[in-house]
């Protein structure tokens, strides 16, 4: 087994923390992202998911822990936005990403999945295919992806965004035989454990750990709902 694929063994059955601050928020700076990353590793995380070249480089400078690098970039003519081009994939490898994640959905894209995979592998990194459904995962593995993630389930169609993890997809992906990374709306330790029980090899948790704005809003909404219910009861 080569050194890069040995990284997957380091991630197996472990927690990967996505250190992505809210864009433009008070923690959207390299010092905070590095702090999130080091705190996560010190607490038992086995790897990190980091967005942007600058933040990948900043985190790479302070740790040799496995990094999944991504670039989120909105394009005028395409809906894909997670590492959508060959150039971005190549840059992430050069910046120190052990694994480069990219949008592997069946949507129209500026560069083909095959070309993105080739760029990632040529740069010496492994490739993680962020998928929306089982067809995406199956196609990505056939094309040569090293691992598949449930990252984009619920984010590519019409209608409201789901609130729960897609455990059904995680289990189905596990049946394909590849290295499966559960990601997307995993907001509690119990959900993370369930994802592993459903067959995932590793679990990514982001907002529930590193996005203070999101966490506070969940508590606030619950408290507001309770207070509203209490007022209605008092009026009744």
Q: What is the pTM of this model?
A: 0.96
Boundaries of domain holding 64: 3-235
pLDDT at 118: 98
The first and second tokens of residue 23, run together, are 């864009």
The first and second tokens of residue 216, run together, are 């506070």
Residue 2 pLDDT grade (very low, low, confident, very high; cuts 50, 70, 90): confident
- DSSP-H helix ranges across 48-144: 53-60, 86-95, 113-122, 134-143
Of 50, 61, 44, 52, nearest to 10 by C-alpha is 44
Q: CA angle, 208 as apex, 83 and 191 as ends, to 5°?
A: 100
Summarised one tens digit per residue, pLDDT across range 137-189 is: 999 999 999 999 999 999 998 678 899 999 999 999 999 999 999 999 999 99
Mean of all residue pLDDT scores within the chain: 96
Residue 5 pLDDT grade (very low, low, confident, very high; cuts 50, 70, 90): confident
Tokens 């480089």: give the residue. Answer: 57
Summarised one tens digit per residue, pLDDT across range 63-102 is: 999 999 999 999 999 999 999 999 999 999 999 999 999 9
CA–CA separation, 28 and 113 (whole Å): 30
1, pLDDT greater than 70: no
- For residue 182, the domain's CATH number is 3.20.20.70
Summarised one tens digit per residue, pLDDT across range 122-141 is: 999 999 999 999 999 999 99
116 versus 231: which is more confidently predicted? Answer: 116
Q: How many domains does the chain have?
A: 1
pLDDT at 161: 86
The first and second tokens of residue 115, run together, are 């070309």
CA–CA separation, 207 and 109 (whole Å): 27
């Amino acid at each position: 087994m080569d050194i890069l694929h040995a990284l997957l063994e380091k991630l197996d059955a472990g927690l990967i923390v996505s250190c992505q601050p809210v864009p433009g928020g008070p923690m959207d700076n390299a010092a905070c992202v590095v702090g999130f990353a080091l705190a996560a590793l010190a607490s038992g995380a086995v790897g990190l998911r980091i967005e942007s070249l600058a933040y990948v480089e900043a985190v790479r400078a302070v740790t040799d822990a496995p990094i999944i690098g991504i670039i989120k970039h909105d394009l005028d003519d395409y809906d894909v936005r997670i590492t959508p081009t060959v150039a971005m994939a190549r840059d992430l490898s050069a910046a120190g990403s052990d694994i480069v994640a990219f949008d592997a959905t069946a949507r129209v894209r500026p560069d083909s999945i095959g070309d993105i995979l080739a760029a990632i592998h040529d740069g010496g990194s492994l490739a993680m295919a962020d998928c929306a459904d089982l067809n995406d995962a199956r196609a990505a593995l056939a094309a040569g992806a090293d691992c598949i993630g449930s990252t984009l389930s619920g984010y590519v169609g019409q209608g409201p965004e789901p609130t729960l993890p897609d455990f059904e997809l995680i289990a189905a992906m596990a049946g394909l035989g590849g290295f499966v990374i559960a990601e997307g709306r995993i907001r509690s330790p119990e959900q993370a454990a369930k994802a592993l029980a459903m067959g995932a090899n590793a679990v990514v948790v982001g907002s529930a750990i590193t996005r203070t704005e999101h966490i506070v809003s969940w508590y606030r909404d619950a408290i507001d709902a309770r207070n509203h219910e209490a007022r209605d009861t008092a009026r009744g």
